[in-house]
């Protein structure tokens, strides 16, 4: 057990040292107007290449990821049904789904689920 802890600590320290050295040695580049503008056959661009970021789409994507991960957390409950009593299984499952529904209701009341502005 001590050997595993020592090996994990050495691995962590080595990784940390390599990351710090790479950060210190790497060439820092200043933002250049010419390099940050899109290339259009040598001419100045007609339109901005940077499209405004849709915060609403980001929120919907985050909510999807959160609920997708929570669905994967529900899958092992089927396996635990064999080793626990039906009452314990029912209570744990009901509490978990209740917490999910409360989160969904909170997001709904905050307006995060409205796609149209």
* Domain containing residue 88: CATH number: 1.20.58
Q: Is residue 104 part of a domain?
A: yes
What pLDDT does residue 45 have?
A: 59
Domain coverage including residue 62: 2-110
Q: Is residue 8 part of a domain?
A: yes
Per run of 10 residues, the mean pLDDT along the chain (length 117 residues) is 90 93 75 62 62 75 82 82 87 89 87 70
Q: Measured at the alpha carbon of residue 109, what is the angle toward residues 107 and 113, in degrees to the nearest 5? A: 50
Q: Is residue 100 part of a domain?
A: yes
Q: Is residue 103 part of a domain?
A: yes
What pLDDT does residue 24 have?
A: 82
- Structural domain total, the chain: 1
What pLDDT does residue 107 have?
A: 83
Q: Is residue 70 part of a domain?
A: yes
Q: Is residue 115 part of a domain?
A: no
């Amino acid at each position: 057990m001590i050997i595993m802890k020592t090996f994990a600590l050495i691995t962590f320290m080595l990784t940390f040292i390599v990351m710090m050295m790479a950060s210190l040695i790497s060439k820092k580049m200043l933002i250049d107007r010419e390099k940050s503008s899109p290339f259009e056959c040598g001419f100045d661009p007609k339109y901005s290449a940077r499209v405004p970021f849709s915060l609403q789409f980001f929120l919907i994507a985050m909510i999807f990821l959160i609920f997708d991960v929570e669905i994967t957390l529900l899958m092992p409950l089927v396996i635990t049904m064999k080793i626990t009593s039906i009452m314990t299984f029912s209570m744990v499952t009901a509490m978990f789904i209740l917490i999910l529904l409360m989160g969904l209701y909170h997001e709904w009341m905050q307006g995060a689920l409205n796609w149209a502005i």
